[in-house]
Amino acid sequence: MIRRLIAACLILLTCALAAQAQERTIQDVLQEHRAEIEKSSRKTIGPAIDAIANSGLSAAQTVLETWQNKGMWQRKADGLFFYAAPGAGGTYTLFDFDSGAEVGAVDKGDLDQLKPNSGIRAMIGAALVQFQLNDPNPARRRDALLAIQRDGEESHLAPLRASIEGETDPAIKALKETTERLLTIRFDPDEASRVAAIEGFRGALSLDARAALNPLVTTKIVYAEGLPDGANIKRALKPGKDIPVSDAFALMVAAGAATPPPSVAERKAALEAHIVDGKVGGRPVADLNTQESRDSAYAALAEAGQAPAYDVNFSEETVVKGAPFAEVYDEPSKAVTDAAEATLGSINRAVGFNQFLDLSLDGLSLASIYFLAAIGLAITFGVMGVINMAHGEFIMMGAYTGYVVQQIVPDYTVSIILAIPLAFAVTFAAGVAMERLIIRWLYNRPLETLLATFGVSIALQQLAKNIFGTQARPLTSPGWLDGALTFNDVVSISYIRIAIFVLALIFLGVFLFIMKKTRLGLETRAVTQNPRMAASMGINPDKVNMLTFGLGSGIAGIAGVAIGLYAKVTSELGSDYIVQSFMTVVVGGVGNIWGTLLGAGLIGFLQKGIEWFNPSNTLAAQTYMIIFIIIFIQFRPKGIIALKGRAAGD
């Protein structure tokens, strides 16, 4: 019976508790911890915040956020908590946390605002993290994680770990795991879990991983005498070999293990201070124009007690010799630093590989630019044998055409689409005019063609300066070409470069098509190989030459639009590319488009490669590039793909 009664009571109690729990509001939780909340002290507030956070009530997050933003008010009359909005006439409208219902307007005098201090606000913030991490909106979860990555705290660790389990979105789950490892590395007191977290980054490429690991392996160089036993020593250093003697000496001085002798400047100052009747230490001032004589004068001063003693035979080397120096990790745990070093090694290998990929992409895009700049020349110089120094200015004309079109047509996409055929038309016309007026009188006089076209080049360049001024003009790419294709934190390539690459491929195709498949190509090859024979077969060499030259120039114009998108449009745009363009054609092998392609590839990749060794210095890279080409020509004077035998014209 008693057992039954007890059982019944228990059931009742349970039911009552359950009922109570069901009906329990956030107000109840707040009221339970009313004293702590009112006291608002960092030392005692913890249980209150935890109780709210762990209450499992939907209003908990609102309460915490309101509280943190100083938006929670307490009604003096009954001690209940509300959030409030200012109403009319110094009154505040109160709202219930649980239902969100309006409770009524109350005079400000009957309310107390809860003003948590910054310490408490931080605690509330930490408690809020779990809500953000479990927010139903994935974007907010991601924002919270990124915020933690930027600005993590030890307190974030527990809610973060707790939230991983229930995460459904795989991308965010991965992000959470990464973030958890980052935080573990930084804050977890347990060495083993830190090591595990570090090793979790093996082979990772992200900047965050490197940023988390790099601080673990920072070291400083110290004078190792009296170093605490627990110091995490990376390696012992030998002065003169691993560290400069002067640095080692300075460390000893800083540690109080050595006294620096008076420096050259100090000794000089001492000598200057003790000039008496044109003499110092018994030596005439006029003699003190060598360090030896100054040293001996100073020795005399020191002997007389007028200056600190100075041992002439002093050498920092003898002092530091045999003294212990070490490179010491800032991180005390050896297990952690070892793991970090190993992981960083693997990351660096991965990064190095990816940097190589990135560099290759850079090289590819530079090669495309050179190829674009050179492909017109491959026609006029490579096929026709006409050396056109104004080719660079045709590129410039193309770029300015693009600029002018953009001034008239504001839509960037439309203007680029318009600019390409227009640039072709403008430079085609210029090329034909030049061929008719100048070049055709100079066939077979290549050096004079070079000089005459050079004359055209300086005239065009100055003309462009007169019309457009000397400052750079922008040629803006359409919006869809902005940004970059990003593969990971290391490898990316901008869309403009991809577009230039594609354009280069298209040009290659167009060139091959025209030369191999069209009547013009056939006639061009016939005329360049044997003009008399071609003429006798009914081909008009004048017309063919004119059209071919126009074609080469027109392509230069289109290349100009592409290059203008990538570089600033100035009157010197063309001359920046002309030498490299000729080099591309010559290195590749004159008269062969595949040679030009290889030449552009060689020059582009090589220049990027050289820049990689000395990243800050493009000028040096270009210098070495040109020297390389000069040497290359030694071994393959006719370029990579050389025409052999009688056809080569020797």
Largest CA distance in the chain: 130
Question: In whole angstroms, how close is the CB of 389 to other proteins at the nearest point?
Answer: 8
Between 164 and 633, name the residue whose CB sits nearer to other proteins. 633
CA separation (Å) from 454 to 210, 428, 458?
Answer: 53, 18, 6
Q: Please, are residues 367 and 605 in contact by the beta-carbon 8 Å criterion? A: yes
Using CB under 8 A as the binding rule, whether residue 299 contacts other proteins is answered as: no
What is d(CA 286, CA 230) in angstroms, rounded to the nearest whole number?
Answer: 58
Using CB under 8 A as the binding rule, whether residue 413 contacts other proteins is answered as: no
Using CB under 8 A as the binding rule, whether residue 645 contacts other proteins is answered as: yes
Between 268 and 568, name the residue whose CB sits nearer to other proteins. 268
Q: How far apart are the first and last CA of the chain?
A: 125
Between 389 and 416, name the residue whose CB sits nearer to other proteins. 389
Question: In whole angstroms, how close is the CB of 278 to other proteins at the nearest point?
Answer: 10
CA angle 387, 391, 396 (to 5 degrees): 170
Site map (CB under 8 A) of other proteins, residues 552-581, x = contact: -----------------------x---x--
CA separation (Å) from 357 to 611, 640, 645?
Answer: 15, 25, 40
Between 17 and 273, name the residue whose CB sits nearer to other proteins. 273
SS3 111: strand
Between 319 and 625, name the residue whose CB sits nearer to other proteins. 625
Among 154, 169, 272, 411, contact with other proteins (rule: CB under 8 A): 272
Among 1, 2, 88, 631, contact with other proteins (rule: CB under 8 A): 631
Using CB under 8 A as the binding rule, whether residue 22 contacts other proteins is answered as: no
Between 234 and 440, name the residue whose CB sits nearer to other proteins. 440
Q: Please, are residues 116 and 67 in contact by the beta-carbon 8 Å criterion? A: yes
Piece of 109-117, 123-131, 480-488, 618-626 that binds other proteins (CB under 8 A): 618-626
User: Is residue 411 classed exposed, middle or buried when 0-12, 13-18 and 19+ CB atoms within 10 A define those classes?
Assistant: exposed
Among 205, 472, 520, 626, contact with other proteins (rule: CB under 8 A): 626
Piece of 149-157, 161-169, 298-306, 634-642 that binds other proteins (CB under 8 A): 634-642
User: Is residue 144 classed exposed, middle or buried when 0-12, 13-18 and 19+ CB atoms within 10 A define those classes?
Assistant: buried
Rounded to 10 degrees, the C-alpha dihedral 333/334/338/339 comes to -40
What is d(CA 565, CA 82) in angstroms, rounded to the nearest whole number?
Answer: 60
Using CB under 8 A as the binding rule, whether residue 196 contacts other proteins is answered as: no
Question: In whole angstroms, how close is the CB of 645 to other proteins at the nearest point?
Answer: 3
Among 243, 271, 423, 556, contact with other proteins (rule: CB under 8 A): 271
The pair of structure tokens assigned to 595 is 């040679």
The pair of structure tokens assigned to 37 is 């909340």
- What does residue 383 show for φ and ψ, rounded to 5 degrees? -90, -45
Site for other proteins in 440-459 (CB under 8 A): 441-442, 444-448, 450-452, 454-459
Among 275, 304, 485, 505, contact with other proteins (rule: CB under 8 A): 275
Using CB under 8 A as the binding rule, whether residue 596 contacts other proteins is answered as: no
**Alpha carbons within 13 A on the beta-carbon side of 45:** 23
Question: In whole angstroms, how close is the CB of 536 to other proteins at the nearest point?
Answer: 17
Between 137 and 444, name the residue whose CB sits nearer to other proteins. 444
Using CB under 8 A as the binding rule, whether residue 619 contacts other proteins is answered as: yes
Site residue total, other proteins (CB under 8 A): 60
Between 169 and 287, name the residue whose CB sits nearer to other proteins. 287
Question: In whole angstroms, how close is the CB of 442 to other proteins at the nearest point?
Answer: 7
Using CB under 8 A as the binding rule, whether residue 134 contacts other proteins is answered as: no
Using CB under 8 A as the binding rule, whether residue 13 contacts other proteins is answered as: no
Piece of 171-179, 419-427, 517-525, 631-639 that binds other proteins (CB under 8 A): 631-639
CA angle 246, 252, 258 (to 5 degrees): 105
What is d(CA 1, CA 6) in angstroms, rounded to the nearest whole number?
Answer: 8
Question: In whole angstroms, how close is the CB of 596 to other proteins at the nearest point?
Answer: 14
Among 586, 598, 610, 640, contact with other proteins (rule: CB under 8 A): 586
Give, as one character, the DSSP assignment of residue 391: H
Q: Please, are residues 390 and 456 in contact by the beta-carbon 8 Å criterion? A: yes
Reduced 3-state DSSP string for 273-308: HCCECCEECCEEHHHCCCHHHHHHHHHHHHHCCCCC
Piece of 76-84, 437-445, 477-485, 519-527 that binds other proteins (CB under 8 A): 437-445
Using CB under 8 A as the binding rule, whether residue 276 contacts other proteins is answered as: no
Residue 341: closest CA among 238, 179, 219, 237: 219
CA angle 640, 644, 648 (to 5 degrees): 100
Among 14, 58, 540, 617, contact with other proteins (rule: CB under 8 A): 617
Between 59 and 280, name the residue whose CB sits nearer to other proteins. 280
Site for other proteins in 366-405 (CB under 8 A): 387, 389
Q: Hey, what long-range contacts does 149-153 have (CB within 8 A, 24 or more apart)? A: 149/178, 149/179, 149/182, 149/208, 152/179, 152/182, 152/183, 152/186, 152/187, 153/122, 153/126, 153/187
Using CB under 8 A as the binding rule, whether residue 545 contacts other proteins is answered as: no
Q: Where do runs of H (alpha helix) occur along 530-572?
A: 531-536, 541-566
Among 44, 99, 214, 291, contact with other proteins (rule: CB under 8 A): 291
Using CB under 8 A as the binding rule, whether residue 466 contacts other proteins is answered as: yes
Q: Please, are residues 67 and 77 in contact by the beta-carbon 8 Å criterion? A: no
Question: In whole angstroms, how close is the CB of 456 to other proteins at the nearest point?
Answer: 6
Between 465 and 517, name the residue whose CB sits nearer to other proteins. 465
The β-bridge relationship of strands 72-75 and 484-486 is unpaired
What is d(CA 26, CA 111) in angstroms, rounded to the nearest whole number?
Answer: 19
Among 39, 349, 465, 516, contact with other proteins (rule: CB under 8 A): 465
Between 255 and 438, name the residue whose CB sits nearer to other proteins. 438
Interface residue list for other proteins (CB under 8 A): 268, 271-272, 275, 285-286, 288-291, 294, 387, 389, 438, 441-442, 444-448, 450-452, 454-463, 465-466, 575, 579, 582-583, 586, 617, 619-620, 622-623, 626-627, 629-631, 633-635, 637, 644-647, 650
